Amino acid sequence: MRSVINYIKEILGGLRTLWAGMRITGKYFVRPGEIVTQKYPENRNELTMFDRFKGEVIMPHDENNQHRCTGCGICQMNCPNGSIEIITRKEMTPEGKEVRVIDKHVYHLGMCTFCGLCVKTCPSDALAFGQDFEKAVFDPSKLTKILNQPGSTIKKDVK
Amino acid sequence: MAFNIYDFTEFTRSIDTGLKNSMSSGWAMFVEYAIIGVIFLLVYAVLGLFLVYAERRVCAFIQNRLGPNRVGPGGILQTVADLIKLLMKELIPIRNADKLLFNIAPFIVIIASFMAIAAIPFAKGLHAIDFNIGVFYVIAVSSLGVVGILLAGWSSNSKYSLIGSMRSGAQIISYELSVGLSLLTIVVFSGTMQLSGIIESQANGWWIFKGHIPAAVAFLVFLIASTAETNRGPFDLAEAESELTAGFHTEYSGIRFAFFFLAEYMNMFIVASIAATVFLGGWMPLHFGTGNAFNHVMDYIPPLVWFAGKTAFVVLIMMWFKWTFPRLRIDQLLTLEWKYLLPVNLVNIVIVAFLVLMGWHF
Amino acid sequence: MQEEIVKNVILGEEDDYVINMGPQHPSTHGVLRFEVSLQGETIKKVIPYCGYIHRGIEKMCERDTYPQIIHLTDRMDYLSAHINNEAVCLCVEKALEIEIPERVSYIRTILDELNRIASHQLWWCAMGMDMGALTTFFYGLRDREKILDIFEESFGSRLLHSFNTPGGLMHDVHPGFQKRIKEFISYFRRKLPEYDQLLTDNVIFKERSVGIGVLSREDAIQYGVTGPSGRASSFSCDVRKIEPYGVYDRVNFNEILRTEGDTMARYKVRISEMEESMKILEQLVDNIPAGDFTAKMKAVIRLPAGEFFQRVETARGELGVYIVSDGNKTPYRIKFRSPNFSNLFIISKLAIGFKIADLVAISGSLDLVIPDIDR
């Protein structure tokens, strides 16, 4: 008789735990207010990322099309896998001295691991992280970007 | 032609006499069969598409997300798009597979579920095959599907498929017992196996209410056993995605996979409608006793709506099972059947027989 | 030739039914291959093959300077990325014998515990999904998003941070850091009982995990199974208690030990660890001292010649970092003792005699992250 009672208790106990689990899923089934997904391409206008989001490395230019990069090459030395290439050229200043300025700051987005060392070690704070994250392209050569815009010059007060 | 949504017998009889007047009796029968065949094909396909969409929506809401909502208004055409994609896929031939068995396995599964759906009473008078052994016929025919599953696993010439189909074969054959015995309780209550007779006997209340505790136990056992019969829910280890990639239908692609997929959902529908018919009253509205005002109010809702609502309720419960519980292992599944469900069923039948003898049900 | 020798030696009889749960499989959490030799449904032998995602991280570290190797360690055990970074930073700081500010230690410990909770949440998702309860995947991920939002607000990336650097942190945390953590703790405290209701108490789950894959204490010590898997066999191996680093010696928390050693014990240890981590967070979040976020370091870091070792407790076990330096700015050799490598090979002992479904359950409860095995 004892084994029959245990048997029935087993069945009822099992059913009770199953019902407890079903209550949780049932609770979420009838609450569409708890839906956590967003309809992505339609909500691009309202979508804001956090300020520090690491979307890509950019060189901020101000309204006079000036940047802060001196072409020193410290970011290239610090990049662990060679995603940055600095190409410089020589230029004559109005005083007659020959200085080195940045010609092209080549950034391979396809190889970058977003470690942040280039942004951190730049002595003139020329680089920053941008927030654009839609980077998928069909052509891999589009992933090699030149960070300084054409015709831009360096700001006056950068050492 | 009187089109009465409460009783289709007039409608079907008028079509029958109309056909018999215009052509000879043999041709009239042939045309009737053709019409019913085409209607069932359409109903099968459309219901299947709708059930797949409903499952995806239900599962999405349970998981705090939206589900298909872009293709068509509210995502209704999503399954149509999936069907077109499946139709366009390449049918990959398998080397060293048994070609005949490989090709006919999906058809056997579909034919078995077609034969079962023909016997379901959708409304009063909308009943294609009304055998006097209705319940027996439905159970017998729906178990032909297991042949298709075993053939699919064997002829695929792949170890995963073989394991999947052997597991599934053992599972389906064991659970047929429980399905049959739990339906037998209601047969004992109502005294007839004819499906329309069972429905008529629920005119003063559904069996799940009239038969109180034994009928409720039988309903629960039937739900569990039929989820196992259709390879669904916590019993889906034949196609367990996280273990065997896709079990017995791994090697099928394109339209053949669509057949298996569709047959699984339609089997769920058939089993749900049998549960609704036998336990919950089929197309019979909710009545308590006979001839009172409540019954009159309930009679206003057409029987087709009652049938659809009850089937939807049982389908929803089966989907709820699937998305909540982890999977059972094969030996635990067989233990559940042989050590728990079968003894409970047998004791239940004895109790029901005793109750009917004593007249202690409503 | 090699393959044939291996096959003949290991797999034994000719008429064994050998199944390959190949590198591409929905449930092996990464690229791992199991060769399973079956009799009916019962497993006779399991051999795991790893190495499909070997990237040569230790060799790559030999050509990078010390601040540059941090971003590579992220990608070993990516679910406890911060803890991996911290291990290398602590080793370098120990070698240079510099003092890091208090604030840095507090923030590092807080982020460690957040990372531990996030990793255990992902483990819970995957465990439920392997067992067949597909909704647990979404519930765990939904709760994990709150932690990932905290990370994204402070560092900019959700999973692979590279936030640590030898000497301290890259920059200071976001001003709303403490408020967000408190919000998260109160949110997750409400959700954790739901996890129990959905999976832990479920009779089907109990049938599939109690008594499956029992790991004895001697085996755990011999094979070096650390982390929650070892603690479930009462092997007391928590590095946070044995050799405290950061501020672990100043907080109050329990080391969760269980004696059964089966899958259910490993499961329960991890769920309790999530609760303990929340306790640690509560003790630390209000007391972060003000200060610098990094110590003063030279521009080029050179370690003195010698050998240095540091161990930390990741979410999966004990990670050891061993640096051999010859005085240059790059290490001569760096070796990582990864926890998952030791945890993996216990499967061949645990799974014998059980069914295929149990193999999936056991490897889910051991919580393996494959890139950590192959580095």
Question: Tens digit of pLDDT per residue, chain B (362 long)?
Answer: 456 677 777 777 787 788 777 777 788 888 888 888 898 889 888 998 899 999 998 888 888 888 888 888 888 888 889 889 888 888 877 787 778 888 888 899 888 888 888 888 888 777 877 888 888 888 888 888 888 888 888 888 877 777 778 888 888 888 988 898 999 888 888 888 888 888 888 877 788 888 788 888 899 999 999 998 888 888 887 776 546 556 777 778 888 888 888 888 888 999 999 999 888 888 888 777 666 777 777 777 888 888 889 999 999 999 988 888 888 888 888 888 899 889 999 999 999 888 888 887 76
Count how many pairs of residues, chain A against chain C, have C-beta atoms within 8 Å: 68
Q: Whole-model pTM?
A: 0.88
State the Cα–Cα distance between residues A155 and C362, nearest whole angstrom: 62
pLDDT tens-place string over residues B9-52: 777 778 778 877 777 778 888 888 888 889 888 988 899 889 99
Q: In B, which residues are within 8 Å of A26 by CB distance?
A: 320
Supply the pLDDT for residue C9. 46
> How does strand A153-154 pair with strand A66-67?
parallel
Residue to mutate among C201, C207, C210, with most A CBs inside 10 A, is C201
Integer angstrom CA distances of residue A96 from A66, B87, B323, C243, C252: 22, 75, 77, 63, 68
Interchain proximity C203–A14, CB inside 8 Å: yes
Closest chain B CA to residue A35? B64
Please tell me the distance in Å from C217's CA to the nearest CA on chain A.
Answer: 31
Which C positions 192-211 lie with beta carbon below 8 A of chain A? 194, 197-199, 201-204
b/e per residue B180-206 (b: at least 16 CB within 10 A): bbbbbbbbbbbebbbbbbbbebbeebb
Q: Which helix (H) or strand (E) segment is B329 a member of?
A: none
Yes or no: is domain C57-374 CATH 1.10.645.10?
Answer: yes
Q: In B, which residues are within 8 Å of A35 by CB distance?
A: 61, 64-66
Tell me the average pLDDT across C321-342: 89
At residue C294, what is the residue type? T
Phi, psi of B346 (to 5 degrees): -65, -45
Which B positions 301-340 lie with beta carbon below 8 A of chain C? 323-332
Interchain proximity C162–A20, CB inside 8 Å: no
Strand, helix or coil for residue C174: coil
Q: In A, which residues are within 8 Å of C135 by CB distance?
A: 25
User: Which of C5-19, C92-106, C157-171, C209-223 comes out lowest in average pLDDT?
Assistant: C5-19
Cα C36 from chain centre: 26
Closest chain B CA to residue A11? B340
Nearest to A54 by CA among A114, A113, A101, A110: A114
pLDDT tens-place string over residues C244-268: 888 888 888 888 888 888 889 999 9
Interchain proximity A36–B61, CB inside 8 Å: no
CB C113 within 8 A of CB C281: yes
Supply the pLDDT for residue B240. 62
E strand residue ranges, C117-170: 164-165, 168-169
Token output for A26? 């049932």
Which A positions 60-99 lie with beta carbon below 8 A of chain C? 78, 80
Phi, psi of A145 (to 5 degrees): -115, 150
Strand, helix or coil for residue A129: strand
CB C98 within 8 A of CB C117: no
Tell me the average pLDDT across C134-141: 87
Supply the pLDDT for residue C26. 66
Please tell me the distance in Å from B1's CA to the nearest CA on chain A.
Answer: 44
Q: What is the residue extent of each domain of chain B?
A: 94-358
Count how many pairs of residues, chain A against chain B, have C-beta atoms within 8 Å: 36
Token output for A142? 């589009």
State the Cα–Cα distance between residues C118 and C100, nearest whole angstrom: 26
Interchain proximity A120–C171, CB inside 8 Å: yes
Please tell me the distance in Å from C371's CA to the nearest CA on chain B.
Answer: 20
Interchain proximity B63–C17, CB inside 8 Å: no
CB A88 within 8 A of CB A103: yes
CB C124 within 8 A of CB C118: no
Give chains near C: 3+ CB pairs under 8 A: A, B
Q: In B, which residues are within 8 Å of C137 by CB distance?
A: 63
> How does strand C33-39 pair with strand C333-337?
unpaired
> Is C55 in the A-facing interface, judged by CB distances under 8 Å?
no
Question: Tens digit of pLDDT per residue, chain A (159 long)?
Answer: 888 888 888 888 888 888 888 888 888 888 877 788 888 888 888 888 888 888 888 888 877 777 788 778 888 888 888 888 888 888 777 777 777 777 788 888 888 888 888 888 888 888 888 888 888 889 888 888 887 776 666 666 555
Closest chain C CA to residue B158? C19
For C19-46, give the DSSP string. Answer: EEE-SS-TTSSSS-EEEEEEETTEEEEE
State the Cα–Cα distance between residues B54 and A138, nearest whole angstrom: 36
Which B positions 47-66 lie with beta carbon below 8 A of chain A? 58, 61-66
Interchain proximity A35–B64, CB inside 8 Å: yes
Q: In B, which residues are within 8 Å of C358 by CB distance?
A: 329
Tokens 């407890």 identify what position?
Answer: A20
Residue B292's CB: how many other CB atoms inside 10 A?
10
Q: In A, which residues are within 8 Å of B71 by CB distance?
A: none
State the Cα–Cα distance between residues C356 and C234, nearest whole angstrom: 27
Nearest to B102 by CA among B148, B170, B48: B148
Tell me the average pLDDT across C294-311: 85
State the Cα–Cα distance between residues C115 and B178, nearest whole angstrom: 49
pLDDT tens-place string over residues B340-361: 889 999 999 999 888 888 887 7
Among candidates A50, A117, A129 on the partner chain, residue whose Cβ is nearest the Cβ of C67 = A117
* DSSP classification of residue B291: S
Cα A119 from chain centre: 13
Q: Which residues contact C354 (CB under 8 A, 6 or more apart)?
A: C42, C43, C212, C213, C362
Please tell me the distance in Å from C187's CA to the nearest CA on chain A.
Answer: 14
Radius of gyration of chain A (CA): 29
Residues β-bridged to residue A67 = A154
State the Cα–Cα distance between residues C156 and A24, nearest whole angstrom: 34
ipTM: 0.83
b/e per residue B321-350 (b: at least 16 CB within 10 A): bbbbbbbbbbebbbebbeebbbebbeebbe
B282 CB-contact burial (10 Å; exposed 0-12 / middle 13-18 / buried 19+): buried
In Å, the largest CA–CA distance within chain B is: 68
A107: left (phi over 0), alpha (psi -120 to 50) or beta: beta
